[in-house]
Structure 1
Amino acid sequence: MTLEIEINRNTFVLHNSGALYWTEKRVLLISDAHLGKVSHFRKYGAAIPEAVINKNFIKLDEVVNYFDPESIYFLGDLFHSELNNEWYLFQRWVEKTNIPIILIAGNHDIINPAKYCELNIQITNEWKLNGILLTHYPEIREGFFNLCGHVHPAVKLRGAGRQSLKLPCFFQSENQMILPAFGEFTGTYVIEPKEGDMVYGITKDTVLPVIITF
């Protein structure tokens, strides 16, 4: 279910939900949840089962219960677009969870910030902790290791018989890790690793290092 790694003398736990847990800070990091996306597409006629809506909240509950964090940082695109019925599900989840939440705003976070303030959620464009830079968009900044989202990274595995399998992944380069999209109803972008990059693929049950040959 999890894989533990070290970044800049800090311990991080990669969870197969796509969440990342910072052990020393007891911080849970989640990127690209895209809550409200299912309702948004259903509104315009997409034939998506309503049951998909609850999967995001089930995942949120599972990962919070697993790590018991002191705070939660959403690395952007928390809510997909304008307000819809899923906002009220999110509001109830926040009240039930009762853990401090910070939102690093992403390109889809267009809801009036006052709505987040009503839930005591702090919104900012970036956050710095012990040499770690939290953003939504991937960013290289001298002196920091960047944890970010936005890309929805995935890796394509190819077999000898032309089989292929695409997995969401955590993608780590020299000074950056891009988290996979947490949301159930999101697409992915297949990344092309370079020598020295690390890829951690996500399956239904676990997180595993992917060996890349060049």
Structure 2
Amino acid sequence: MTITSHGEELILDKERALYLPQHKLLAISDLHLGKSAHFRQAGVQVPSTIAQSDLQRLTLLIEKHNPSTLLINGDMFHHGLNTDIDEFASWRKNYKELNFLLVKGNHDKLAHADYNSMNIEIYEPSFCLGPFCFIHDAPQCTEEELYPISGHIHPGVSIVGKAKQRLKFPCFYFGNAYAVLPAFSLFTGLYNIYPKNNERIFAVTPKNVVEV
């Protein structure tokens, strides 16, 4: 789905990603690589294919939009170094020409040397581009006149069907003060968003993105 926000065209992708064509920038939030491996290390039986699935989705997004820059808007890595992150480091080598930017989130605790070894450029607390300011936890922004785009809360929306069944989906939220991206990783929960007047919510369904 294509929308206009603050004078710029934005593409809301059903793979829980935001693409800014004018800047050739693909943005995702809350990738949480390493989360499943961290749980397994703690004795929790979590499938080892979660990180592989998320990276495969990311591969398809890169092939689809052909960005020059990939921005992860916080919580790229869930914990310390582990097998999931080793897998990402190997995957990263396939995209040597692609700029990787990370706006650090509360789970991003690797050493700077670890990020450097994977050719990831770090921004803290925000990365600003055009009329937007990407920051992990809204609504704070380093440039007050810019519109913050955040992540962190894993936004979701509940929709009631014709048979009164209630379905819950990840969503994009564009509020009056700031926007929130859906969590990219499939291994996350959802926090229900309730819009105010003149605010917009776009549900991410299995087939497409729809405004609700």
TM-score (norm 1): 0.93
The equivalent of 2:21 in structure 1 is: 23
Please tell me whether the aligned partners of residues 140 and 176 of structure 1 are also in contact (alpha carbons under 8 angstroms): no
2:110 aligned with 1:111: yes
Deviations 1:58-112 (A, max 9, x none): 1110111110001011000001011101111111121112211110000000111
2:79 aligned with 1:77: no
The equivalent of 2:146 in structure 1 is: 144
SS state of the match for residue 184, structure 2?
coil
**In 2: Cα distance, 1:91 partner to 1:161 partner:** 46
**In 1: Cα distance, 2:82 partner to 2:140 partner:** 35
Give percent identity, aligned residues only.
Answer: 32
> Size of the alignment, in residue pairs?
208
Deviations 1:19-74 (A, max 9, x none): 10001000000100000111111111222222223111111101111100010110
Q: CA deviation at 1:161?
A: 4.6
Bigger Cα displacement from structure 2, 50-59 vs 143-152: 50-59
**In 2: Cα distance, 1:128 partner to 1:52 partner:** 31
**In 1: Cα distance, 2:205 partner to 2:34 partner:** 24
Where does the alignment leave 5 or more consecutive residues of structure 1 unmatched?
Answer: none
Which residue identity is paired with 1:204? P
**In 1: Cα distance, 2:162 partner to 2:15 partner:** 29
2:158 aligned with 1:165: no
Aligned partner (choices 94, 97, 100) of residue 96 of structure 1: 94
The equivalent of 2:7 in structure 1 is: 9
**In 1: Cα distance, 2:170 partner to 2:80 partner:** 26
RMSD: 1.2
The equivalent of 2:127 in structure 1 is: 127
Q: CA deviation at 1:206?
A: 0.8
Q: CA deviation at 1:140?
A: 4.8
**In 2: Cα distance, 1:162 partner to 1:204 partner:** 20
Aligned partner (choices 42, 52, 56) of residue 44 of structure 1: 42
Which residue identity is paired with 1:158? V
Which residue identity is paired with 1:47? Q
Deviations 1:154-185 (A, max 9, x none): 00112465420000000111242100000121
The equivalent of 1:206 in structure 2 is: 208
Deviations 1:185-209 (A, max 9, x none): 1111011111211000001121111
SS state of the match for residue 157, structure 1?
strand
